[in-house]
A and B are shown apart, each in its own frame.
Chain A
Amino acid sequence: MYKVVTKRFLNDAKTICLFEIEAPLAARHAQAGQFVIFRLDEQGERVPVSVADWDREKGTVSVMVQAAGRTTKMLHTVEQGDYISDFVGPLGRATEMEGLKKVCVVGGGVGCAIAYPIAKEMHKRGIEVTFIGGFRSADIVILKDELKEASDKLIMCTDDGTYGEKGFTTVFLKQEIEANIAEGKPQFDRVIAIGPDIMMKFLADVTRPYGISTIISLDPIMVDGTGMCGGCRVIVGGETKFACVDGPDFDAHQVDFDSLLKRAAFYKDEQDRAAQHICKMTGGKRNG
């Protein structure tokens, strides 16, 4: 059993919540870009979620989870001091940072939670970080202060303009790239984009004509997370890769987004049905 040491909602709408979990084995080697898999209880499914932070001394790993489906909604009902059944990691490869000098990290919605530790680590290593964070509206914005600290330049934007700039991340990424050219500044060595699959697809289209190396972090449906089941396969450069062991970071210009989007929706009917069956009497707690 794994103890929830801290639980904290990260935005006014309470859509995204931070859970700091006591998991010394996962904390020992966790790095930015990797993920963990948690399971609520005996009946629960295995759900992958990126590591947002870690404390090797305390032996804790933090994750930031958006309530989307049945399991994540139920996780949001778990309180500080409670225990969850399983928490395993770190899984996948850490984000590559070697040799980078100037990067643009783009986060979309809860993707900012994954982008944050990457930006923080890069910033710490002296890499010049421009962070573009996009949200639907002001009430779901997360990590305002943390992102400021983790970047040299921060652009926050919302679809409706209720917080920061008004517009999509794609617009601001293009603007930054063009500004680098116009002002004669060095161009980004790399763009790292994390967010909804469709956002990453369009961001890849933005950087492609400029030839800027673009990495995206994928979270396809997984079961074991160790390369055993083959459920998380993605097509990259025409080859089948496993996101759990070959990723989760991949070259955005090589990823087959169409198959990615289709695979992500494979269990949509089952997920929708399951999400509707969350017990209202217990407030989402199983056997509560």
Chain B
Amino acid sequence: MANMRLTKNEMPEQDPVLRAGNFDEVALGYTPEMAIDEAKRCLNCKNPACRTGCPVAVRIPEFIAKVAEGEFEAAYDIITSTNSLPAVCGRVCPQEKQCESKCVRGLKGESVGIGRLERFVADWHMAEQAKLEKVEVEVPASNGHRIAVVGSGPAGLTCAGDLRKMGYDVTIFEALHKSGGVLVYGIPQFRLPKEIVAKEIDNLKAMGVKIVNNAIIGKSETVDELFEDGFEAVFIGSGAGLPQFLHIPGENLLGVYTANELLTRVNLMKAYRDDYDTPIKHFHRVAVVGAGNVAMDAARVAKRLGAEHVYICYRRGRDELPARLEEVATSCPPVSKRSSMPRPRASSSTCSITRPASSRARTASSPALSCCARSWASPTRRAAALPSPCRAASGSWTWTPSSSPSAPAPTP
């Protein structure tokens, strides 16, 4: 008989007060008992809808059944037959939009915690491997065909892992000195420990995937030259995350970071640690524009760098913000104040980033942010509708390092 509890087993977390001051992982992971208990909530549907929600079609009910039996290694084998990066995916996949959104248990109550179970299985496997003196890895026989993969981010790693399993001789070319792409430069340590990423990459290397770091395809070597060098196919997974600017006045003032720069300094270059050389500014009041997962990461990083106040400015309402619910939940209570609606606006001179003239400004490099409250053009379809500015006189606020914002209530 399945466990008919309506809610997922809660994820144990680091204490909010403690974690705001460190970069250690927030979510601590299930114990074996919690995992088995959660796994028993799965109904093992005949037509598993969850699988259709998974981009790599992990055999979800099968692995969960093994977890329920306590056969964790068998569960690991089932997951990795279609997914090369379970420890990463279990942590940072948006499961609530993918597999878990399709789960039948989600119709009444919460879906099965598929992501949490995947993470548990991957972590359990890694812990078991660490106990062994020598790890035996099955190296697929080479079929003699060479493939180049450009970029060692999640796409490149997944592609390389799958092709290697099929027998191809795979070489990954990575521009940065560390492999992992956004997993190492973008996603913070407290959400995805870099040691976990390194272990997943080591698994691929053990399978025979070669990685060349400090190789910028297109600069160091062209795609044509890769073909000349004997590669028969090239997969380009160069990433999508280039910085977008708002095109508002003042965005090049000192103290205005792109999320990519802030996160790269902190995550890849470890600027938060005293023993690393890369510098980072430790500001007291930080405004983050946007409310996606990257914005949440930036806000949480800012808090951990010592910011007393972190504000997230978003143009829509709280219910529409695009970050994962889990991210919002873990960012919000301990980390940041949030003001929905006010948003920097490009077309108005009242909405801009400026250098405050006030002598009370903390440092010369502290900009101020002016925002403008917004109203909804179409209240019935809020998520789809673009908010339009309400009258600036009644709805704008200015945020400076020396004054607290008082965000007006959104105009209905």
Contact = CB atoms under 8 A, between A and B. Distances in A.
A91 B254 CA distance: 25
25 contacts: A43-B275, A45-B276, A45-B278, A85-B177, A86-B177, A86-B213, A86-B214, A87-B214, A88-B177, A89-B216, A223-B269, A224-B185, A226-B216, A228-B260, A228-B264, A230-B258, A231-B258, A240-B245, A240-B251, A240-B252, A263-B252, A266-B365, A267-B281, A270-B279, A274-B277
B217 to A, nearest CB: 10
Interface centre among B185, B216, B257 (most CB of A within 10 A): B216
A162 B123 CA distance: 67
B220 A88 contact: yes
Interface in A260-287: 262-263, 266-267, 270-271, 274
Nearest to A273: B279
A270 B251 CA distance: 22
Contacts of A76: none
Nearest to A227: B242
Given A89-B219, A240-B245, A263 B254 contact: yes
A259 interface: yes
Contact of B252 (A26, A229, A235, A271): A235
Interface in A86-109: 86-91
A229 B264 contact: yes
Contacts of A231: 257-258, 261
Contacts of A87: 214
Closest 10 CB pairs of A and B: A270-B279, A230-B243, A88-B214, A230-B258, A229-B261, A45-B278, A86-B177, A231-B261, A45-B277, A25-B220
A263 B177 CA distance: 25
A266 B254 contact: yes
Nearest to B255: A266
Contacts of B219: 29, 89-91
B189 to A, nearest CB: 15
Contacts of A223: 261, 264-265, 268-269, 278
B279 A224 contact: no
A89 B216 CA distance: 7
Contacts of A263: 252, 254
Interface of B: 175-177, 185, 212-216, 219-221, 239, 241-243, 245, 251-252, 254, 257-258, 260-261, 264-265, 268-270, 275-279, 281, 365
Given A229-B258, A230-B261, 10 more contacts: A25-B221, A26-B214, A26-B220, A28-B221, A88-B214, A223-B269, A224-B185, A228-B260, A229-B243, A230-B242
B252 A228 contact: no
A71 B261 contact: no
A228 B260 CA distance: 7
Contacts of B270: 43
A192 B341 CA distance: 49
Nearest to A34: B219
Contact of B278 (A29, A46, A233): A46
Contacts of B365: 266
Nearest to A25: B220
Contacts of A39: 177
A230 B258 CA distance: 6
Contacts of B212: 25
Given A28-B220, A88-B220, A223-B269, A267 B214 contact: no
A58 to B, nearest CB: 16
Interface string A26-39: 10110000000001
Contacts of A237: none
